[in-house]
Amino acid sequence: MKNLRKIILLFAFIFIAGIFVTVITVNTSLNKNETPRETVEIQKDTLYLLNSEKKTV
């Protein structure tokens, strides 16, 4: 019976440690900043549309 309790305790510890490591990993990946490159591409697209609109009018 003592060995069964030790095994259950070991698995519970591994399970809780796995959850802890997963939460830390997800938090660090969510805290990363997006590159501002997307904003620059959107501005270029907007300028292209504005220029093409001026040419058609």
Distance CA 17, CA 10 (A): 11
pLDDT of residue 40: 55
pLDDT in tens, 2-36: 899 999 999 999 999 999 999 999 988 877 776 65
pLDDT of residue 21: 96
Q: Sorting pLDDT into bands at 50, 70 and 90, what band is 45?
A: low
DSSP string, 2-57: HHHHHHHHHHHHHHHHHHHHHHHHHHHHHTSPPPTHHHHHHHHHHHHHHHHHHHH-
pLDDT of residue 8: 96
What's this model's pTM, rounded to 2 decimal places?
0.50
